[in-house]
Amino acid sequence: MQEGQGKETPGTLYVVATPIGNLEDITYRAVTTLGEVDLVAAEDTRHSRKLLDRFGIRKPLLSYHDHNERQRYGEILERLQAGENVALISDAGTPCIADPGYRLIASCRLAGVPVVPIPGASALVAALSASGVATDRFTFEGYLPSRAKARIDLFKRLAGEQRTLVFYETPHRLIAALHDLAQILGGERPLVVARELTKMHEEFFHGTAGEAVAHFSRQPVKGEIVLILPPSAEGPQMNARDALRNLLDEKSLSRREAVKVIAKEYGLPASDVYRESLSLTEEDRAD
């Protein structure tokens, strides 16, 4: 890294990965880079100050997070164009992975400002590497939606996905997400829940969706969550909506009988299944 660059030469944006728990997971290159830049753009400056203090780094911090990203990235870009070197970090892990930052990266690329990754810890990769599930093909869906309907709709869309599915989730929403997952994909759907990665109470739970609900309902859940759904060895599992459609199409049962069968098989309220049957009928009419 060159310090004291002239204003005619732009600085460099360093995308620096930080530990996801254990501070010893920071790389030597990351510490060196953070110690040499002119400015550190951080998701939470108070949190990041503790990290910098741990390694004796005294550099100015500028907040850069979801709520101020649109306003802040222009300011950071101007400083880069003026010749300053800037490090972008998140609270934990690799920046721009389910975190703000892509606008700044895109603007730097368009403006001819160099962008250099300083790789390191990532909860996504750490969880997958120790999960024991197939990782040759996987899809990362980021954080699960906070609202139940959006979450259920997402699980329905992904019901037939044959790649390993990976999600982030917060501890206070985990139980609700697991309930929805069991409802749509079945209580026997295998999964892995990775929690508190690299920390003292690190946990890898292997089991079914139903077992996960019981396990994590025993006490308050703590720590950030990585939820992994391995591909089913039996191929795509039929969700409740598709099963209901099949029964209605067969016309071997009345609507109420079909609703009763699906409600019992999938553990759903009959009233919800009945409303779903009406929406399917409306879709068929529209087609």
Do 27 and 110 belong to one domain?
A: yes
Given 87, 121, 155, which residue is the final one in a domain? 121
SS3 state of residue 6: coil
pTM recorded for the entire structure: 0.76
Do 138 and 215 belong to one domain?
A: yes
Q: Is there a domain that residue 206 lies in? A: yes
pLDDT band at 1 (very low <50, low <70, confident <90, very high): low
Q: Is there a domain that residue 46 lies in? A: yes
For residue 275, give every residue at least 6 positions away whose Cβ sits within 8 Å of its Cβ, in sequence order, or none. none
- Calpha distance 279→91 (Å, rounded): 43
User: For 3-17, 107-121, 189-203, which range has the lowest pLDDT when averaged over its residues?
Assistant: 3-17
Average pLDDT value for residue range 93-102: 91
Count of domains forming the chain? 3
Alpha carbon of 273 to those of 7, 24, 240, 241, 286: distances in Å?
A: 65, 51, 9, 8, 20
Do 167 and 132 belong to one domain?
A: yes
Q: Is there a domain that residue 5 lies in? A: no
Residue with tokens 């890898």, as numbered in its chain: 204
Domain that holds residue 271: 240-286
- Calpha distance 104→118 (Å, rounded): 16
Per-residue pLDDT, 6: 46
pLDDT of 30-88, one tens digit each?
999 999 999 999 999 999 999 999 999 999 999 998 888 888 889 999 999 999 999 99
Q: What is the DSSP string of 76-96?
A: HHHHHHTT--EEEE-SSBSTT
Do 149 and 103 belong to one domain?
A: no
Q: Is there a domain that residue 8 lies in? A: no
Alpha carbon of 161 to those of 17, 232, 235: distances in Å?
A: 30, 9, 9
| Percent of the chain surpassing pLDDT 90 | 69
Q: How far is CA 266 from the centre of its chain?
A: 27
Predicted confidence (pLDDT) at residue 132 exceeds the cutoff of 90: yes
Strands 190-195 and 225-229, sheet pairing: antiparallel
Per-residue pLDDT, 236: 44
Q: Is there a domain that residue 2 lies in? A: no
